[in-house]
Amino acid sequence: MKTKSKEENLVYIKLSCSELTQSKKEILSIEINLIKILQIIKNYKFLRMQELKSKIKLLKKLKETRAEIKRFEQTLPKSQISKRINGNKTETKKEKFLEKVIKNKNNLESQLQEIQKKLKNLE
């Protein structure tokens, strides 16, 4: 029964010879394009895997160099000069931060004053 119902739903179209060859050419060109796309996708996957492997190697090297640097820092003697320099850096960072806060506060106050002047002029 199922085969009969399928056969009943089928529609046949008569094609000329030129239409048939044209449609076959189009189908083949579509297949060629699909194969090219598949090749591009495979190439992309391969390159992506290579990239990820390279990134993993780089991260491992970075961890190794960090560990070596820490080891060197621990073995080398610390001088008083480096402590003073580090202390000065933190003070300058704090000073810069405070200057920025003051500038922002002054800027907001000046904007507020300008707006108040404009309101007075409108009255």
Spans of the chain, pLDDT less than 70: 1-7, 80-91, 123
Q: What pLDDT is stored for residue 59 in this prediction?
A: 94
pTM of the model: 0.45
- What's the helix, strand, coil split of the chain in %, to 5? 90, 0, 10
| CA distance linking residue 44 with residue 32, whole number of Å | 18
Cα→Cα distances 90→58, 67, 78, 81, Å: 32, 25, 18, 15
Q: What pLDDT is stored for residue 86 in this prediction?
A: 59
Cα→Cα distances 78→65, 71, 75, Å: 20, 13, 9
| Other beta carbons less than 10 A from residue 4's beta carbon | 8
Q: What pLDDT is stored for residue 105 in this prediction?
A: 73
Q: What pLDDT is stored for residue 1 in this prediction?
A: 46
